[in-house]
Amino acid sequence: LDFEITLTERPTPAADREAILADPGWGMHFTDHMITIRYQEGKGWYDARLEPYGPIPMDPASQVLHYSQELFEGLKAYRQADGSIVTFRPYANAARMNRSAQRMAMPQIPEQLFVDALELLVGTDKDWVPGKEGQSLYLRPFMFATTRALGVNRPADEFLFMVIASPSGLYYPRGIKPVSVWLSQDYVRAAPGGTGEAKTGGNYAASFAGQAEAVANGCDQVVWLDAHEHRWVEEVGSMNLIFVYGEGSSARLLTPALNGALLAGITRDSMLKLAPDLGIPVEEGKISIEEWQEGCESGAISEVFGCGTAAIISPVGRAKGTDREWTIGTGEPGPVSMRLREELIGIQYGTKPDPYGWVHKI
Ligand code: PLP
Ligand code: COI
């Protein structure tokens, strides 16, 4: 598909852009352009465009506004030490978007079209890729149903795929300082057979009440437990969770196995591949809140961290529920968490070798 390119007549003045890049915050500023590609059943993908960033006209009966037939992805473009710009594992995001699309009865997008769209947007707005440590250009591909119809007896047949880009700094203003987490009993993020494995907006809409409950209980983030027994640990906020057992040369990782209710994080997958290379064995399994608490109290569990594209890794320092509360490790970021973080960031920013070919040059 060839993109029709319309550059903005009013690009952000360089001085204003530099001021934003000096302290971008997270997800608040957007670059000068965006991608739109349309889809119609029977016709496939068509009308690919790069356009000035701006509002999109929508019919009020568009299905997405009523039934949330939507999905999204998230990945970053990094400015590497030698000045080149790369994205990290973009084909993995394309593949996950297509898995989400299958669950949400939405069309598959060719992986190469997905990556071409990212490359065109990042290449056009390359001056928006910040260069300081920890900064990046967050890329947000998303797709939603534009069919004008209120009936729910058939899925939509018209969709819009878009990509927008947002210069970003640290996701959590406290950086890598350990967060406290709340074990929600009232709210469930996802149930077997539901949409937990799909990166669809409704999962996040449904999470806000749980997050608010965490904050009301003095915690930073909410831990999602399984829907059935409210006992088995699944995710934290919008990150996957990794538990570190043991210390030093006997450290090993345990992370909840992908059971249909968890999002298959690309950071999680990267950690599971990098850790064994550093001599840290990994296991995908199950862990209950009782095992988590006992493990911390006995010293068997030395570190716990959340991982995701936005925050990279976020150590967990304290956990609290209605009837229990405990501390994890020393309350400071642990050495295994920091070692893995360093390794991943090194690959992303080009200061360490990229043994798996994860880095994709623009
Ligand atoms: N879990 C949830 C619910 C998420 O929304 C995300 C990130 O978007 C993750 C985990 C981490 O996934 P990734 O590492 O691909 O960013
Ligand atoms: C992540 O990238 O880790 C996220 O959780 C993104 C979030 C804003 C949905």
Of the given ranges (88-97, 136-145, 151-160, 283-292), which has the lowest mean pLDDT?
151-160
* Tens digit of each residue's pLDDT (9 = 90 or more) over 258-274: 999 999 999 999 999 99
* Contact 242 CB / ligand 1 (< 6 Å): no
Which pLDDT score is estimated for 176? 80
Which pLDDT score is estimated for 171? 74
Q: Terminal CA-to-CA distance of the chain, rounded, Å?
A: 18
Which pLDDT score is estimated for 329? 86
> Which ligand has its closest atom nearest to the C-alpha of 100?
1
The yes-or-no verdict on residue 56 having pLDDT over 70 is: yes
The yes-or-no verdict on residue 84 having pLDDT over 80 is: yes
> Which ligand has its closest atom nearest to the C-alpha of 268?
1
The yes-or-no verdict on residue 308 having pLDDT over 90 is: yes
Which ligand 2 atom lies nearest to the CA of residue 309? 2
Which pLDDT score is estimated for 80? 92
* Tens digit of each residue's pLDDT (9 = 90 or more) over 101-134: 999 999 999 999 999 999 999 999 999 999 887 8
The yes-or-no verdict on residue 151 having pLDDT over 80 is: yes
The yes-or-no verdict on residue 81 having pLDDT over 90 is: no
Which pLDDT score is estimated for 174? 65
Check: CB of residue 182 under 8 Å from CB of residue 221: yes
Rounded to the nearest angstrom, the distance between the alpha carbon of 297 and the centre of ligand 2 is: 30
Residue 168 — very low, low, confident or very high, per pLDDT cuts 50/70/90? very high
Which pLDDT score is estimated for 10? 95
> Which ligand has its closest atom nearest to the C-alpha of 224?
1
> Which ligand has its closest atom nearest to the C-alpha of 310?
2
* Tens digit of each residue's pLDDT (9 = 90 or more) over 8-44: 999 999 999 999 999 999 999 999 999 999 999 999 9
AA identity, residue 360: H
Determine which residue's CA is closest to atom 13 belonging to ligand 1: 265
Pocket test for ligand 1, best of 89, 136, 195, 239 (most atoms within 8 A of CB): 239
Residue 334 — very low, low, confident or very high, per pLDDT cuts 50/70/90? very high
Which pLDDT score is estimated for 170? 76
Cα 297 to the chain's mean position, in Å?
31
Which pLDDT score is estimated for 304? 97
Determine which residue's CA is closest to atom 7 belonging to ligand 2: 238
| pTM for the whole structure | 0.96
Which ligand 1 atom lies nearest to the CA of residue 267? 14
Question: To the nearest whole number, what is the mean pLDDT of the chain?
Answer: 95
Which pLDDT score is estimated for 173? 62
**Average pLDDT rounded to a whole number, residues 306-315:** 94
Residue 73 — very low, low, confident or very high, per pLDDT cuts 50/70/90? very high
Pocket test for ligand 2, best of 26, 28, 73, 238 (most atoms within 8 A of CB): 238
* Contact 267 CB / ligand 1 (< 6 Å): yes
